[in-house]
Amino acid sequence: MNAADYRSFADDWERRATLRTRPRRMLENDDRLIYPASRQPLVLSATFLEHCSQWRDFVLVQSFYKFLNDVVIFETEIVDKTARSIAKNRSSLSFPLACRYDAMTVVVDEDYHALVALDFLQQTVNMTGLQPLDLPGQIELSHALPAAQALAPPHLRDAVELIGVAIAENTITHDVAAFAKDDSVKPSIRGLMADHLFDEGRHAQFWTHLVRIYWQSATPADRDSIAATLPAFLTHYLTNDLQKAFDLQLIEHLDVSADVRRALQDEVAALHFPITRQHPLLGNIMGFLHHSGVLNTPSVALALSTYLPESGRQP
């Protein structure tokens, strides 16, 4: 795809964007979970199940707060910034007006998602009486983008940002889809995730198209320079260090014995997802890089060869 082939999704957005079509969702006061236990390994650990099961709802509510806070950071501090710079033609990357218009619909959608996240946070506080603990001020992408950009020459930093945001937007779509299908969770929260997914699927295609347009116009030297930044991006983006730190903070707030606390800390510390081709998110990321044309560049395939299946490696 080149810039001349780009087709705006403006009509689809006018008809179907969730902020235009969905009434406010209200949190149910029922027996279902507020956050999937499958997404919080702490509550499934052997020590927790044996000694701390009465703290399950506290841990899941606080984990929901962190999730909502992460959404706000992702949408307003990262995706909004990149989309807004493209929409206002302030990026060093040049896109046609149709792309810029669609970028502004992404800004509107993402700010709406952040608003809904804050609404659910407030509803949850009111229903449970639990105030959020100190929530992280950054997410993994907050570290991954600057780390990758620091390795690129100045004229390519906007391009690295574009590709990093596109990777994240494609990754979050699959993550949200799994959340939306979890029957153990309250219907309003599953509905929230389904609404989010509806918009994010459109966003993922948008970012893929923009990366494809940019990549086709990039020089071979610029492509090679960007390829060299991708391993650093993935190293920072796929780490679970921030989640571990949050879980250790949660453990400090549990009313348990010192021995149980140490056992919980040891179990959390042992949780590790090596950034290899078996990492659960790498399949989605490599799929995006393939569909956008980035992975077809030999220097990219070489830079990411550690993460590719044998069949996808360069000879």
**Euclidean distance between CA atoms 98 and 86, whole angstroms:** 11
Half-sphere exposure of 131 (CA within 13 A, CB side): 2
User: What does each C-alpha distance from 88 to 14, 47, 100, 103, 267 come to in angstroms?
Assistant: 20, 52, 7, 9, 48
Tokens of 291: 């569909």
What pLDDT sits at residue 314? 47
Domains of the chain: 36-312 (1.10.620.20)
Evaluate the CA torsion angle 104, 108, 109, 110 in order and state its sign: positive
Q: How many CB atoms lie within 10 A of CB 253?
A: 12
Q: Are 223 and 156 in contact (CB under 8 A)?
A: no
Q: What's residue 274's pLDDT?
A: 66
pTM higher than 0.75? yes
Q: Are 34 and 64 in contact (CB under 8 A)?
A: yes
> Each residue of 139-171: b (16+ CB within 10 Å) or e?
bbbbbbbebbbebbeeebbbbbbbbbbbbbbbb
- The count of residues in the chain is 315
Cα–Cα nearest to 46, from 312, 271, 310: 271
Considering Cα of 135, then 109, then 142, then 313, what sign does the dihedral take? positive
The rounded distance, in Å, linking the Cα atoms of 110 and 107 is 5
Query: 């920072």: which residue's tokens?
Result: 236
**What's the confidence (pLDDT) of residue 310?**
59
For 220-238, the DSSP string reads HHHHHHHHTTHHHHHHHHS
- State the Cα–Cα distance between residues 140 and 159, nearest whole angstrom: 19
DSSP per-residue codes, the chain: --GGG----HHHHHHH-HHHH-PPP----SSSBSS-GGG-GGGGSHHHHHH-GGGHHHHHHHHHHHHHHHHHIIIIIIIHHHHHHHHTT-SSS---HHHHHHHHHHHHHHHHHHHHHHHHHHHHHHHH-PPP-PPPS--HHHHHHHHHHTTS-GGGHHHHHHHHHHHHHHHHHHHHHHHHT-TTB-HHHHHHHHHHHHHHHHHHHHHHHHHHHHHHHS-HHHHHHHHTTHHHHHHHHS--HHHHHHHHHHHHTS---HHHHHHHHHHHHH----SSTTSTTHHHHHHHHHHTTGGGSHHHHHHTTTTS-GGGS--
Per-residue pLDDT of the chain (315 residues), as tens digits, is: 676 678 787 777 777 767 667 788 999 999 999 999 989 999 999 999 999 999 999 999 999 999 999 999 999 999 999 999 999 999 999 999 999 999 999 999 999 999 999 999 999 999 999 999 999 999 999 999 999 999 999 999 999 999 999 999 998 877 777 778 888 999 999 998 888 888 888 899 999 999 999 999 999 999 999 999 999 999 999 998 999 999 999 999 999 999 999 999 999 988 766 666 777 788 889 999 999 999 999 999 999 999 876 544 444
